[in-house]
Amino acid sequence: MVTRAHFVSFFPFFFVHAPVFYYFCTSIVNIVHIIKRNFITRYILLALVLLGHQGCDLIEYHPYDARLEGPLHMTASMTARIVEQCAGKDTLRFAHISDTQRWYDETKELVRAINRRGDIDFVIHTGDLSDFGLTKEFVWQRTILNGLDMPWVCVIGNHDCLATGEDVYHTMFGDDNFSFNASFAHFTCINTNAFEYDYSASIPDFNFIKHDISAVPDSISQTIVAMHARPGSEQFNNNVLDYFAQMLNNYPGLAFCICGHDHHTEVLHPFDDGVPYYECGSAKTRTYIVYTLTRDSFTYEAVEI
């Protein structure tokens, strides 16, 4: 049997710590007692929890809490809208924006400029909605980009993978690899931020690309691949460069790839297979690129607002 004498001998400082420990325990007992007995306290606590769940902006449990409300799993609904709106069209026109992180004023201006044109079918955002991966940043960007008159989809960027950003992305948008068919064009959006996962995840996911290629319908004459980090960037898994190029070339009519990440607008040819990579600058450069697709050709135009 363990006696008090044992405890004292094992723990010589017991008599010093005892008042601290005693006070801590009794205070917790006191609090629990108050909550149990006092109805007012209980209702105040209940009211506070409800206040937090009602979406009051002032209540935040942690910057990375991933507590999300409002429209979620948006990739599915947005791609459905794109497919529906573009069905049977002979000319497609889509806008490409990228790296809108922490440039809310500029993003708002981009949204306004794209809306003002009125000829854009949909918008592809090539990653980096958030700068620090904070839940709040995703919500703010969603609020601004939902101001677009047309549907929009977003690829995951390296900053979106920070801390709980990836969980927020998966909840707010959906899978990080997805594809959709708009009339005659096939769009594939893939996660290429291998560096964020320390190359330990299958990024780029060749399994996804393989299955996606086999599922492309015959009516497709052009394919566009969207990613955040281009092949050759420090985020990309550069060990698989050639295989990546080969795999993409299996897509029917691979026209071009679009990317972001480097914060400047540029045309690149990372492989000598004739597939151009169009890189859009960050929102800070106030640039968006408009692509016009027909069944057998395409044109592009970088617009600075």
Nearer to another protein, 14 or 243 (CB): 14
Q: Does 37 bind another protein (CB under 8 A)?
A: no
287-293: strand order across its sheet:
152-154, 122-125, 92-97, 287-293, 298-304
Shortest spacing between CB 221 and another protein, in angstroms: 39
How would you class 47 by CB atoms within 10 Å of its CB: exposed for 0-12, middle for 13-18, buried for 19 or more?
exposed
Applying CB under 8 A, among 149, 234, 266, 304 the residue interacting with another protein is 234
Q: Does 59 bind another protein (CB under 8 A)?
A: yes
Q: Does 136 bind another protein (CB under 8 A)?
A: yes
3-class state of residue 23 by DSSP: helix
3-class state of residue 225 by DSSP: strand
How many beta carbons lie within 10 A of that of residue 260, not counting itself? Answer: 29
Q: Does 201 bind another protein (CB under 8 A)?
A: no
- Contacts of residue 199, defined as CB under 8 A and 6 or more positions apart, other chains included, come to 237, 239
C-alpha dist (Å) from residue 194 to 18, 130, 174, 230, 247: 52, 18, 18, 11, 17
Type of residue found at 9: S
Count of residues touching another protein (by CB under 8 A): 57
Applying CB under 8 A, among 46, 48, 87, 201 the residue interacting with another protein is 48
Applying CB under 8 A, among 45, 46, 50, 80 the residue interacting with another protein is 45
* Binding letters toward another protein, positions 89-128, x by CB under 8 A: -------------xxxx--x--------------------
Residue 273 in contact with residue 250, Cβ under 8 Å?
Answer: no
Q: Which of these, 271, 274, 300, 296, lies nearest to 287 by C-alpha position? A: 300
Shortest spacing between CB 206 and another protein, in angstroms: 22
Applying CB under 8 A, among 74, 123, 134, 258 the residue interacting with another protein is 134
Task: Using the rule CB under 8 A, give the single segment among 62-70, 73-81, 255-263, 294-302 that binds another protein.
Answer: 62-70
d(CA 190, CA 157): 10
Applying CB under 8 A, among 39, 40, 54, 57 the residue interacting with another protein is 57
178-182: strand order across its sheet:
178-182, 185-190, 222-227, 254-259, 277-279, 266-268
Applying CB under 8 A, among 75, 98, 133, 258 the residue interacting with another protein is 133
d(CA 252, CA 186): 9
Instruction: Calculate ∠ Cα 154-183-288, nearest 5°.
Output: 40
Task: Using the rule CB under 8 A, give the single segment among 76-84, 168-176, 221-229, 237-245 that binds another protein.
Answer: 168-176
Q: Does 64 bind another protein (CB under 8 A)?
A: yes
Nearer to another protein, 46 or 267 (CB): 46
Nearer to another protein, 68 or 247 (CB): 68
Residues in the site for another protein, rule: CB under 8 A? 3-5, 8-9, 12, 15-16, 19-20, 23-24, 26-28, 30-31, 45, 48-49, 52, 56-68, 102-105, 108, 131-134, 136-137, 140, 144, 162-164, 167-168, 170-171, 195, 198, 234
